[in-house]
Structure 1
Amino acid sequence: MADLAVDDEDDPFEDQRANAEDPMRRLFTEYGRPKRLPFAVGVLASVFARVLDLLPPVLLGLAIDAVFRDDKAFAPWLWPAAWTPAARDGQLFLIVGLIAAAFGLGALFHWVRNWGFNAFAQHIQHSIRTDTYDTMQRLDMAFFADKQTGELMSILSNDVNRLERFLNDGLNSTFRLAVMMLGIAAILVWLNWQLALVALVPVPLIALFTYKFVRTIQPKYAEVRSTVGDVNSRLENNLGGIQVIKSANTESYESERVEGVSGDYFDANWNAIRTRIKFFPGLRVIAGVGFVLTFLLGGLWVLSTEATGTAPGPLTEPLYTGEFVTFILLTQRFIWPMAQFGQIINMYQRAYASAERIFGLMDEPDRLAVADGAEPLAVTEGHVRYDKVTFGYDDEPMVEDIDVEVAGGETLALVGPTGAGKSTVLKLLLRLYDVDEGAIRIDGTDVRDVTLSSLRRQIGYVGQDTFLFYGTVKENIAYGAFDVDEADVVEAAKAAEAHEFITNLPDGYETMVGERGVKLSGGQRQRVSIARAVLKDPAILVLDEATSDVDTETEMLIQRSLDRLTADRTTFAIAHRLSTIKDADTIAVLEDGHVVERGAHGDLLENDGLYAHLWGVQAGEIDELPEEFLERAARRQARTEAGDD
């Protein structure tokens, strides 16, 4: 089936899908095999349930011929003759009892069948969703650079749910219909093999028609899956930026954009629907032709049998009324399974496209390879060294030949224009990305030679865009340190200058912060983030624009808490507001991915270089800046707006 995959350049997971080998086989071997018991129960129960469903029409035909018309002897198949009543009324009660038992036992087996298939599908759905999420969250940040949240959510939600529907409804229907078709075919041949040949004429035609449908519909479903991701991404972006949309008065513009991606989904889905709605009526026509021929020939056959006692023309066996009624009832039942089989193929194709995306994502290589035998990082002094580090995205260098170090307990500040590579330098320390050249060492140990969990456990991060999870203030402070008690949380909040405002909230530490902490102000969110870092008590601290988006008074409070947090702790700080880092032990000035200056605040001002010019900008001394600096700033701004940085 892999050759049916569609090449859609708009699908953000095209590369992953192309690398997914035999995804449906993997679905059953890797995830289905551990759950084979409920699957086997479902299959066996499905067989018994369908066999019991076929008994009533057979028994009805027997009752017509043997009890009501007395055309044939009362001889139920596999029924001991000694158990058969001699009187016709006794035979009638026996048949009624057998029919009632068939309905009762059939209902029981239907329940067992549904339990088996549902248990099988639900367990696999749970395992696949959790494994896919676990794989996804362990990938490096480069993977997420060209993926939108809505696209990833589409895999975790829509695609996983589509697999569950196939494993439950699709497999359930497959075995149900297979037993129905094989059972009905066997009974028809047993009753009258010559008439059965007529009734089964549509089968090869339906098989060919279904094959053509599969070849046509699969690429169309792949396109539908792609457009679903686009819709999810657009909706996720817009709902996340609803405040910007309202403040910019762009509701009409965004409605048009949503209408555009929704229209693409409509077109793709309607294209698939047009094919599908032609297929199922076509199946019914083919199956209906077989039914009409069966009814016509069988009716003439019964009339000839009743008139002469023999079959007409070349036919060799008589056909009685009860047999014919059973034949018609079963032939009618035979039509529906054949038409339903097309829906199973349809469901399988949808599941196949989803399985490609899921297993393609699971097979995405983790670029953050951990060395064999990696040991946990033990920080003794907190000495950090960037040794000629180079890194870039898509072969485009972002930072080159970075060679800086900071002694344990000291602070290194990174400053420079927008796009100079400051945040990238710190992301490399956290191993959100891996260096292309050079090495980063903590106390002489390459960060690539230690376990990721121990590395990130030793580093505390306080960023500009503070993310709070939906939950309470207490839960957000304790995030990552889940075994602490409430007293530790309160002490951390006090150290972060957050305790006072928290106690003034409606429910104190149990106050819900809302989605992304929307119920708190920017300064409050920032202090909660600092409290989280305090509670973690890391050996190394990373401050990425920690006070850039707050007012002066709040900045004073945050800066005071940061001063406590950075005392005797190796610290990296990024700041555009240079007054906040002027007391750093060392200041490294970056421009276009290179360190162009380094030193203390006073020394850098005396050098009259880029740092001094940036200081002059913030001091309002723009008229005194050299023309060359202003021209370079204009060029940097142009590159930033063009998306080059």
Structure 2
Amino acid sequence: MHPHDKPAWTPGRTEADKPHQPRQLRRILALFRPYRGRLAIVGLLVGAASLVSVATPFLLKEILDTAIPEGRTGLLSLLALGMILSAVLTSVFGVLQTLISTTVGQRVMHDLRTAVYGRLQRMSLAFFTRTRTGEVQSRIANDIGGMQATVTSTATSLVSNFTSVVATLIAMVALDWRLTVVSLLLLPLFVWISRRVGGERKRITTQRQTQMAAMAATVTESLSVSGILLGRTMGRSDSLTKAFAEESEGLVDLEVRSNMAGRWRMSIITVVMAAMPAVIYWTAGIALQFGGPSVSVGTLVAFVSLQQGLFRPTVSLLSTGVQIQASLALFQRIFEYLDLPIDITEPENPVRIDEVKGEVRFEGVEFRYGGSDDNDAKSRPILDGIDLTVPAGGSLAVVGPTGAGKSTLGCLVPRLYDVTGGAVLIDGVDVRDLDFDTLARAVGVVSQETYLFHATVAENLRFAKPDATDEELYTAARAAQIHDHIVSLPDGYDTVVGERGHRFSGGEKQRLAIARTILRDPPVLILDEATSALDTRTEHAVQEAIDALSANRTTITIAHRLSTVRGADQIVVLDSGRAVERGTHEELLERDGRYAALVRRDARLEPSARAGADPEPSARPGADPEPSARPGADLEPSARAGAELEPTR
């Protein structure tokens, strides 16, 4: 086995499945570690606020037991001023504590969002072929957004309320330990109730987030431009609305259950805590009536004041515990993504090539999913024993029937997937040994499915080269035969292309993609069915742009229409993942084998396929976009690539 080879990843298994992973709570606490200095300040503010607030009942006791009965006006004024100052300081400390804790919480959320997004950026194409886009978006938006209360205020509330409870209990014991014991008799029951409620909310939260992810996926898929086109043309708009309404109805039920879970039990705690002052007065009165120790009025009022002060943080502490248990479900979903194994990684000591010449070699290339059981359809190789060499500046055409592995072969060069056997080399270096920057500079890909961002033409082109000048944009666009059309638009290069570029026709999008690749200037070019969905006139214009792009570059063309590859230096015919023929166009025709049969098939199908082709529509706001694929066309290349390579669940 090659040192780079590794077993296929089994979906659903993450790093979290390993037996010695840290517990979830420790991972959550680790998120706050970079901000421990600020959290220490919050702790000091919390402690100071608790001490100041606890002092108020003692000041009240002195007012009732000493200052007023003894008529000491000066002491009374001083004690009253102390109570006012206590309130002011508590308020100031609270505002500062909220500011710092909210800032820390938002930074933690930023760290989580960035970490999840960065992790997903490193995932292979295989992950995205089997994961709904809405699910990914929901993890970043809904799950992390749902943790906002936990990471911004809950943690601080926990510390603040815990400190207040401890300080209040100490003060209550100092005033009268017997009344303190009476006050705490029901505390274990309250803790047990809150834990039960927390567990229930955690289960409901998991279900709710799963439902929200499903809704997000539905919205993303059905309300995209392609989704709207499909729904309208298939007459499914009403059924899609009905399906969305059913998912939304399920979310309503989960939201109600989440908010009402344990609400009656928690309300019992609230009622009992509110009734405790009456119990204290009754206890003190009974004790005095039966000759027990007397309690001064000031002590009794101060104790009840402390007890009322204990009530708020205790209930809040119990509620916070419930919230934390519920939020653990959200953290678990985020950690699942953070623990996803990265199957395409940069080596520890990557090779950097400053000037890539562009020779590409396939040495015994094998690609498969699953195990070695030949009876398992998923384990049979998609590519098997491919040996090819494309010299620098040369051209290779890859042809064959649907499902032969053509697009898969093209995906191996830029490491969208890694080989499971053999090696792909650029200038004699295994692509798995190259640093990512060298590989990105070396290989450019133009596929049938052109992706454009919802941004201006210039911004889409500069995605390939952010520092490109306007003149460089114009030069690349002229080479791609699209400059004249761009400048004819009302806003020229500042024209917004629309969602996925749907304001432009298929041929125009292809030429924009080619201009973008020209701007990137890669020495190795992969053309994956770049013209298969275009009509005759559009294909001719795009082919001219491709010829300009391919000049002096190593070009690997994956083709369905054989008319586009006749001039290639060599043509290889794939069938069931094996190279069954290779040679020039003329040589392969003379052999009268698979390639010749494919040429005869094209000759029969081409006239009828082209006869009804409409000329390329002009791009204008509101124009009907050219279909991205022929009616009934095979899922080639990008859709089929995902179908070929989807692993067994």
Quickly name the TM-score band, shorter chain normalised: 0.7 to 0.9
- Tell me whether 1:477 sits opposite 2:461 in the alignment: yes
Matched AA of 1:334:
L
Alignment RMSD = 2.8
Q: How far apart in 2 are the matches of 1:218 and 1:236?
A: 27
TM-score by length of 1: 0.85
- Corresponding position of 2:612: none
Q: Deviations over 1:381-425 (max 9, x none)?
A: 422111121112334222222222222212111122222211111
Q: How far apart in 1 are the matches of 2:150 and 2:292?
A: 44
- Corresponding position of 2:604: 620
- Corresponding position of 1:432: 416
- Offset of residue 501 of structure 1: 1.2
Structure 2 unmatched runs, 5+: 1-10, 372-377, 608-631
- Corresponding position of 2:629: none
Matched AA of 1:35:
Y
Structure 1 unmatched runs, 5+: 1-11, 74-86, 302-310, 624-633
- Tell me whether 1:25 sits opposite 2:26 in the alignment: yes
- Tell me whether 1:315 sits opposite 2:292 in the alignment: yes
Matched residue SS, 2:368: strand
- Offset of residue 266 of structure 1: 4.2
Cα 1:174–1:365 change in 2 (3 A) is: same
Q: How far apart in 1 are the matches of 2:369 and 2:137?
A: 24
Q: Is the 8 A contact 2:482 2:508 kept in 1?
A: yes
- Offset of residue 492 of structure 1: 0.9
Cα 1:236–1:13 change in 2 (3 A) is: farther
Q: How far apart in 2 are the matches of 1:280 and 1:14?
A: 38
- Corresponding position of 1:337: 313
- Corresponding position of 2:112: 128
- Tell me whether 1:610 sits opposite 2:594 in the alignment: yes
- Offset of residue 275 of structure 1: 2.8
Cα 1:622–1:443 change in 2 (3 A) is: closer
- Corresponding position of 2:244: 258
Flag the structure with larger Rg.
1
Matched AA of 2:340:
E
Q: Which residue of the other structure, out of 404, 417, 422, is the alignment partner of 2:401?
A: 417
Q: Is the 8 A contact 2:382 2:644 kept in 1?
A: no
Q: How far apart in 2 are the matches of 1:157 and 1:314?
A: 65
Q: How far apart in 1 are the matches of 2:281 and 2:556?
A: 86
- Corresponding position of 1:83: none
Cα 1:258–1:608 change in 2 (3 A) is: farther
- Corresponding position of 2:126: 142
Matched AA of 2:310:
F
Matched residue SS, 1:590: strand
Matched AA of 2:487:
T
- Offset of residue 225 of structure 1: 2.8
Q: How far apart in 1 are the matches of 2:644 and 2:102?
A: 51
Cα 1:504–1:114 change in 2 (3 A) is: same
- Offset of residue 595 of structure 1: 2.0
Q: How far apart in 2 are the matches of 1:524 and 1:291?
A: 78
- Tell me whether 1:276 sits opposite 2:287 in the alignment: no
Matched AA of 1:327:
F
- In the alignment of these two chains, the number of paired residues is 594
Matched AA of 2:47:
V
Matched AA of 1:249:
G
- Offset of residue 146 of structure 1: 2.3
Q: Is the 8 A contact 1:198 1:290 kept in 2?
A: no
- Offset of residue 572 of structure 1: 0.9
- Corresponding position of 1:457: 441
- Offset of residue 644 of structure 1: 6.9
- Tell me whether 1:102 sits opposite 2:103 in the alignment: no
Cα 1:402–1:266 change in 2 (3 A) is: farther
Q: Is the 8 A contact 1:42 1:115 kept in 2?
A: no
TM-score by length of 2: 0.85
Q: Is the 8 A contact 2:528 2:558 kept in 1?
A: yes
- Tell me whether 1:328 sits opposite 2:304 in the alignment: yes
Q: Is the 8 A contact 2:407 2:641 kept in 1?
A: no
Matched AA of 1:49:
A
- Offset of residue 250 of structure 1: 0.5
Q: How far apart in 2 are the matches of 1:48 and 1:616?
A: 88
Q: Is the 8 A contact 1:162 1:350 kept in 2?
A: no
Matched AA of 1:520:
F
Q: Is the 8 A contact 1:205 1:286 kept in 2?
A: no
Q: How far apart in 2 are the matches of 1:480 and 1:211?
A: 54
Q: Is the 8 A contact 1:17 1:356 kept in 2?
A: no
Cα 1:13–1:226 change in 2 (3 A) is: farther
Task: Report % sequence identity.
Answer: 32
Matched residue SS, 2:417: coil
Matched residue SS, 1:393: coil
Q: Deviations over 1:324-370 (max 9, x none)?
A: 23333332332232222232122212332222232332232222243
Matched AA of 1:589:
V
Q: Which residue of the other structure, out of 172, 181, 205, is the alignment partner of 2:156?
A: 172
Matched AA of 2:34:
P
